[in-house]
Structure 1
Amino acid sequence: MEAVARTQSRAAIAPALPAEAPLAMPVQSLSSAPEGRGRPATSPRGVLGRRLFVVGGAGLMAVAAAREMYLVLSVGGLSWPEGVVLVLFVMLSAWIAFSFTSAVGGAFSLLRHGGGPLGIDPADPLPTLSSRTALLMPTYNEPPERVLAGLQAIIESLETTGRIGDFDVFILSDTTDADIWVREEAGYLALRERVGGEGRIFYRRRAKNIDRKAGNIGEWVTRFGGAYDSMLVLDADSLMTGDSIVRLAAAMERHPGVGLIQTLPAIIGGRTLFARVQQFAGRLYGPLLAHGLAWWHGSEGNYWGHNAIIRTRAFTEQAGLPHLKGRSPFGGHILSHDFIEAALIRRGGWAVHMVPWLEGSYEEGPPSLTDLAVRDRRWCQGNLQHAAVLPAKGLTFVSRLHLLTGIGCYITAPLWLAMLFVGLLISVQGRYVPPDYFPEGFALFPSWPAQDPVRAAWVFAATMGVLLAPKLISYVLMLFDGRRRRGFGAVAAFFSMLVETLISGLLAPVMMLVQSGGVVGILAGRDAGWQPQRRDDGSVPFMDLVSRYGGQTLLGVFLGVVAYLIAAPLFWWMSPVILGLVLSVPLAALTATRSWGAAFRKVGLLVIPEERHPPEVMVRAGELVRELAGAAPAPSDAVARLACEPGLLAAHRAFLPLDGNRPHGDHSPERLVARAKIEDAADLQSALKGLTLKEKAAALGDAEALERLMKLAG
């Protein structure tokens, strides 16, 4: 413990932040467009033809699907429920067709071995750099040891490139939990000591989480952005190789008109069955879809919020996000900020590119269906907010299409649900409501309510074929890529694809209801909030799962009974949806377990290349996680830890803005209430017991309250 204290005492001498280099970041107007927008020099030739193929091809497929469905439904005339089904089917078939034509574009790109106008080729020698880049690691109530293990692995990988001197690292904390905050500080000091990072690894915590992650990045830019040409934005679960980072920075140097380059993060580290299904799907199908997007996006790509490099000047000039009018959940700050930032950067004349062929970019996925649903609810709210940005002046057609695509990801769920119930209503009507063959008024022929069952079967088969075709295309292309084929295993990948399709198919109706509920909740005015994400453990108490998914189980039973009473063939036709809903509770429970994930891996299923041949940065991150987990335990309570580690306490005090004095204009009640409660407390235990989580954090950020707590702990 004394050695740790001496290390922290030495490390505390170095400042946690560099000298400020502020940049102005004006809030952008959505009602007026900036001047000077033009076609970027890095826009690939023929991109208009590619877009015509994707959008026009999807339109033609939707028209053909609409015609076939009309012929299915209009055998005896089109009733109003059949008309509703037709309209819904046309909208959904257009959505499916759009994904299919984009995937076909991805196949063209992959057959040409990817590549693009930026000249990023992993086979080329590693370039030298003349610019400065900041690596930004935002974190919010995440386990610090895990975050810092990944960050150290990235730093060490950068060191092997010989270009570490061109990069600085910033840990940007928005943590509100006081205990995690102090663990972050201790972890930062230890990290800086381990890698010799004084003067190039920095830590900053915001006391107020204004505008969440977008505000976190924006605050850094306005304080320190002037010292850096570019910033590479990470996430708490991000991993990137030094090679990929250097190549991204070099591409920004070579192409001064590029404002943002987005990589394709491969999902890794999945342990539960759910996570392994997600990472296998992302690793096998993801490159096809990402290459398709890059193929027709050209220089008008999108941004996914992390594992991307951004030109600081482009960001500060164009990406200052306005607050939307109205109250939450539609008004206020923009939750899904990344899409909007990319659209505004492109609106300002900068190019935005995606480089899915550059490997060495990784992230983790949610460990369970429940965790995905929580995150998806926040994304749903953020994407529906984009409806208010769609009319913004000056956005390009492709940028508006990005926003519409994000909205469509969630609107399609209630559309599928509506089509399901209207279709069931038509079946009930056909089974139990006597037909009116001779309606009032003159009619030359009787009205025969009917559908064409043979054509309906063909329409269904064609729809499923378009849905599943990208998976089959991805598998076939993998077979012709020797390195990927060895990484997946041809036979193992085929059976893994079947397993993934089965599990995803059973979970699809559950997610349909989850997303539909999210849309309804947002329309009803319920805010999603901001919760930290779980990374490893997806387990949830069984009764919590019953509470969350029990309604879906009952709905599945109801649909099954109704379908069987109408006709046995209808029951079998609807069985995939019925089965998924009825089994929603055990599916959520089993897929969230590590044991089932380990069992599939043991038999060689759902295995990705990074598991057969792990990249060094991934191996090193795992070693560091285990190493830090095995370190001598420290007090979990922040106050107790500060009291017993003088070096950490000195660093904590030194890191406080204004030395812990109240900033001018700060009238937050938590600070004043915390002071009063601590002053009235007879001992440390009663003081801590009386503080709320917010008050405890405020107390540790206030010099007077902190001093009193240390005296009580004395």
Structure 2
Amino acid sequence: MALPVDTLTTAPARNPGAPDLGARAPAAFAPAVPPEAPLAMPVQDLRRWDPARARAVPSRRAPVAARLFVFGGALALTVYGAVQMYEVVSVAGSTTWLQWLLLVLFTLNFSWIALAFASGLLGFVSLLRRRGQAHPSGPLTRRTAVVMPVYNEATARTFAAVEAIRASIEATGEGARFDYWILSDSTQSDAWVAEERAFLALRARLGDGARLYYRHRPKNHHRKAGNIADFVTRWGGHYDHMLVLDADSLMSGDCVVRLAAAMEADPDAGIIQSLPLIINRNTLFARLQQFAARIYGPVIATGLALWSGRDGNYWGHNAIIRTRAFAEQCGLPDLKGKPPFGGHVLSHDFVEAALIRRGGWSVYMLPDLAGSYEESPPSLIDVAIRDRRWAQGNLQHSRIIGAAGLTLATRQHFATGIAGYVASPLWAAQLVVGIALALQTAYIRPEYFSTEFRLYPVWPRFDPVRALQLFGITMGILLAPKLFGLILALLDGPVRRASGGALRLVASALIETLASALLAPIAMLIQSGSVLQILLGRDTGWNPQRRDDGSIPMRDIVRRHRWHTILGLVAGIAAFAIATSLFLWMSPTILGLVLAIPISWASGQLAIGLALKRLGLLMTPEEREPPAVALDAKAIEACNAADGFDDADALCALHADPALQTGHVAMLPASAPRPRGAIDPDHAMAQAKVVEAETIGEAADWLKPKERMALLHDRALLDRLTQLRG
């Protein structure tokens, strides 16, 4: 099954100038993957479900009290807010249709923040009372595959993470229970060959007992979900569990071992999710996210974990999964119709949690388990690009929320995800209706006597005092989870000191809150635009996420935000013309939109983020004292970058290194014979160009991206490539 266990316990020393493969003969290459151990992964039917198919589990008490507290409290707050808004708009004893529309929109939006408040309050109270929770640890008896799906990623970073995680796990003494897989879906030739070079180089350093494997799929069918499914159906039988990472994931060995031990200790667990903290971020926007995730995130995650109980959710990475349960329950069907609502399931992780829970397995989170980390996009635009894909995935869940056999809590997770994106156009609509009402009051002659018989005229009036009070309540509920996190951080001595002390911690929270207020209207319009595009049938596609700290060219920033700026100017002028009070009330929204271009530019600036860091602001404990696995990964990444794999041309690299070509050919999957007459245009063009080329430089210049990929899959064309002059 697996190769012999080696004895590595720390990250090995590196010589950045050393060749990646050394002088190893081609025959010395061990297989890149072990023999297959297939698991059947049947496609699930979302329309029908026989409860008898679910595994029998011991009776467990659902967190009824926590759910009553959260949903009952949210309902009570929503009713209170709706009544207060009704009193605001119906002060004259009658309500117009615009006022009724404002009331409906306000109630929907208020219910969303009320639910977040109630869940955050539950987490806050729990964390105030909790004094730490013990989690199981080794010795382990089951096998776990640590899998990292990659898609056109920089190998310096991803292979550094795998190497650092592996070394950290080995240091726990439980390394023999883990194998490590890089599952590539890369569609760019340079990225693919760079992955192979990095894999062969790492395995050469670690030795044949590294238990390190690499697989590249010829076609990235169903994207990440298909990537994981391919691994499970071909090699899943080797492993009791799989720990799924993302390309920016880092996990300490202790965290990984404790997750595996928790899975072994709980035979009913299907997925156990950790809470990843954001680390290694330096741009202004990324540091804001890093600070918010560290200070406010545990409050929100703890509340969610408490009311979800064993009906929890899954966010696609840094979680351990029972492999056979996943195979039995998580075969995802294609949805009828075309994208964005049809086709393959985009946000597959929510659906996998729903299906595995339907099958009788538990899904839950360990929010206080330390040692789980990730990174975040470096700028507002990068987040918007990722958020567009998430918006489509969550709205697509409207096709799945009614699937047969799902638990009520699972449907709530789907509803929450959908509401998170629908909320933006609802807030925008509420803003527009509010402006329309103010405009009507200022410039349109009211209809004092309607067609209905009334003894008194209809006065279009508001109660300004009650409106101000309701605005204060709304803002208090909206900002309360931030305040809860800040209070907990101030009460926690080590966290407070590592965040720069009480004054700097409070100042950092104020900076984050102010920045969030300026970013909120921009994000509202971006998400509203995404929802509109999805409703109009526009598919998002799937581009690799930018993970570096580089800034975005100003022309791209202007292009993406010019309409936000124009809208802010128009709204500001209109509000000021209607009433000074309306302008002042809308000023945060107007200011954020008018300054959208400089705000977006500043969000991606390293200099601003590092300046705040030097002042001790937006600091987190993990930044003050970086985790050992993060320090190791950073050092290894620097060595990997010196190797230059990510900067090399794939064809030139193969031409220059016969050992690499031998390794590449050995890792190619067996290809089915081409049916006669079925000509692949990319392959045909690649063949023609390679045959005509006299030098490797000509071939590299002539071949287009898809033709390069066709060549790299063809052993005969690769052999012809090596015969070209350098």
| TM-score category, normalised to shorter length | over 0.9
Matched, 1:27 2:43: yes
Q: SS state of the match for residue 48, structure 2?
A: coil
Per the TM alignment, residue 537 of structure 1 is displaced from its structure 2 partner at its CA by 2.4
Counterpart among 481, 502, 507 of residue 514 in structure 2: 502
Counterpart code for 1:81: L
Question: Any unmatched runs of 5+ in structure 1?
Answer: none
% identical equivalent positions: 51
**Matched-pair contact (CA < 8 Å) for 2:275–2:367:** yes
Q: Who is 1:201 aligned against?
A: 212
Q: Which amino acid aligns with 1:454?
A: V
With over 3 angstroms needed to count, the CA separation of the structure-2 counterparts of 1:221 and 1:632, relative to structure 1, is closer
Q: Which residue of 1 aligns with 2:157?
A: 146
Over residues 435-458 of structure 1, what are the superposed CA-to-partner deviations in whole Å (9 max), with x where a residue is unaligned?
122234531111111000000000
* Letter of the 1:588 counterpart: S
Distance 1:490 1:299 in 2: 36
Compared with structure 1, are the counterparts of its residues 364 and 450 closer, same or farther at alpha carbon in structure 2 (3 Å cutoff)? same
Question: Counterpart of 1:646 in structure 2: which amino acid?
Answer: P
Q: Distance between the aligned counterparts of 1:287 and 1:97, measured in 2?
A: 18
The structural deviation recorded for 1:192 is: 1.4
Letter in 1 for 2:409: V
**Cα contact 1:38–1:349 (8 A) shared by 2:** yes
Task: Choose 698-707 or 296-305, whichever is displaced more.
Answer: 698-707
Residue pair 2:286, 2:376 contacting (<8 A) in 1 also: yes
CA distance in 2: counterparts of 1:2 and 1:278, whole angstroms? 38
Tell me the SS of whatever aligns to 2:243.
Answer: strand
| TM alignment of 1:163-562, pairs within 5 A | 163-196=174-207, 198=209, 200-488=211-499, 489-562=501-574
Give the drift of 1:674. 2.1
How many Å apart are 1:8 and its aligned residue?
Answer: 5.4
- Give 2:134's aligned amino acid: D
More moved, 701-710 vs 497-506: 701-710
CA-CA distance at 1:713 after TM superposition: 4.1
Alignment-derived partner of residue 127 in structure 1: 138
Aligned 1:661-672 pairs, distance under 5 A: 662=673, 668-672=680-684
Q: What whole-Å deviation, never above 9, does each CA across 1:30-81 have from its counterpart, x for those lacking one?
A: 01114344785495x4601211111111111101100000000011321111
Q: What are the Cα deviations for residues 516-566 of structure 1, in whole angstroms up to 9, with x where unaligned?
A: 000011111111111111112241111111111011000000000000000
Partner of residue 112, structure 1: 129
Flag structure 2 segments of 5+ consecutive residues without an equivalent. 1-16
The reply to whether residue 99 of structure 1 matches residue 129 of structure 2 is: no
SS of corresponding position for 1:657: coil
Q: Which amino acid aligns with 1:100?
A: F
Q: TM-score, normalised by structure 2?
A: 0.94
Distance 1:129 1:584, change over 3 A: same
For 1:688, the equivalent position in structure 2 comes to 700
* SS of the residue 1:104 aligns to: helix
Amino acid at match of 2:100: G
SS in 2 for 1:6: coil
Partner of 1:49: 65
CA deviation string 1:602-638 (max 9, x = no partner): 0010011001111100111111112222346787111
1:377 offset after TM fit, Å?
0.2
Higher alpha-carbon deviation: 634-643 or 297-306: 634-643
| Structure 1 counterpart of 2:724, one-letter code | L
* SS of equivalent to 2:272: strand
Partner of 1:710: 722
From 4, 15, 32, the equivalent of 1:16 is 32
Whether the 8 Å CA contact 1:12–1:647 is kept in 2: the answer is no
Output the CA distance in 2 between the equivalents of 1:462 and 1:563. Answer: 23
SS in 2 for 1:17: coil
Could you tell me which residue of structure 1 aligns to residue 90 of structure 2? 74
Kindly indicate whether the alpha-carbon contact (under 8 Å) linking 1:18 and 1:199 is maintained by their aligned counterparts in 2. no
Measure, in 1, the Cα distance between the counterparts of 2:160 and 2:176. 20
Secondary structure in structure 2 of the residue aligned to 1:435:
coil
How has the CA–CA distance of structure 1 residues 41 and 495 changed in structure 2, closer, same or farther, with 3 Å as cutoff? farther
Tell me if structure 2 keeps the 8 A contact 1:552–1:582: yes
Q: TM-score, normalised by structure 1?
A: 0.96
Distance 1:111 1:409, change over 3 A: same
* Contact kept in structure 2, 1:371 and 1:538, CA below 8 Å: no
Aligned to 1:168, what secondary structure does the other structure show? strand
Cα gap change, 1:353/1:39 in structure 2, threshold over 3 Å: closer, same or farther? farther
Root mean square deviation of aligned Cα: 1.9
Give the secondary-structure state (helix, strand or coil) at the position aligned to 2:402: coil
Q: Report how far residue 710 of structure 1 moved.
A: 1.7
Give the 3 Å change call, closer, same or farther, for CA 300–379 of structure 1 in structure 2.
same
Work out the CA distance in 2 between the residues paired with 1:182 and 1:364: 25
Instruction: Note the C-alpha offset of 1:177.
Output: 0.7
Of 101, 113, 121, 1:84 maps to 101
| Cα distance in 2 for residues equivalent to 1:699 and 1:593 | 40
| Deviation per residue, 1:351-378 (Å, 9 max, x gap) | 0010011010000001000000000000
Is the contact between residue 553 and residue 581 of structure 1 (CA under 8 Å) also seen in structure 2? yes
The CA deviation at 1:176 is 0.7
Flag the 1:98–1:664 CA change in 2: closer, same or farther, 3 A: farther
Q: How many residues align?
A: 706
